[in-house]
Amino acid sequence: GQSLEQPSEVTAVEGAIVQINCTYQTSGFYGLSWYQQHDGGAPTFLSYNALDGLEETGRFSSFLSRSDSYGYLLLQELQMKDSASYFCAVRDDSGGYQKVTFGIGTKLQVIP
């Protein structure tokens, strides 16, 4: 099976930078992705890393280290609207077929 660990809650100040870490255990790993979900809404795709390194998309960046089974999401120039839950998700075929498994989610609160 798979397991993912990420902090349950993070609080950061508007304009600051915050990093949300995710560690995982799985076999047949393909990649790590990040999703954002506002309260009552559906998840929206943010990023995907299949290879080691940093991927940057605007204010958001995502990093992966396959050897450490570790990744993070970096949010810069935080805005109030960034307050949401952020899920890391592992794509693997440990069950004999490809699927995506989500972590518990990190609730980010941005304060003025």
Give me the least distance between CB of 102 and other proteins, in Å please.
Answer: 5
- Residues in 2-21 at the binding interface with other proteins, rule: CB under 8 A: none
Interactions with other proteins, residue window 25-84 (CB under 8 A)? 30-31, 33, 41-45, 48, 50
Burial of 45 (0-12, 13-18, 19+ CB in 10 A): exposed
We find the least distance from the C-beta atom of residue 103 to other proteins, in angstroms, to be 6
* Three-state secondary-structure class, residue 84: strand
Q: How far is the CB of 15 from other proteins (least distance, A)?
A: 27
Smallest distance, Å, CB 110 to other proteins? 18
| Site residue total, other proteins (CB under 8 A) | 23
Neighbouring residues of 34: CB distance < 8 A, sequence distance ≥ 6: 45, 46, 47, 48, 60, 62, 73, 86, 87, 88, 89
The β-bridge relationship of strands 9-13 and 106-111 is parallel
Q: Please identify, using beta-carbon distances, which residue of 14 and 93 lies nearer to other proteins.
A: 93
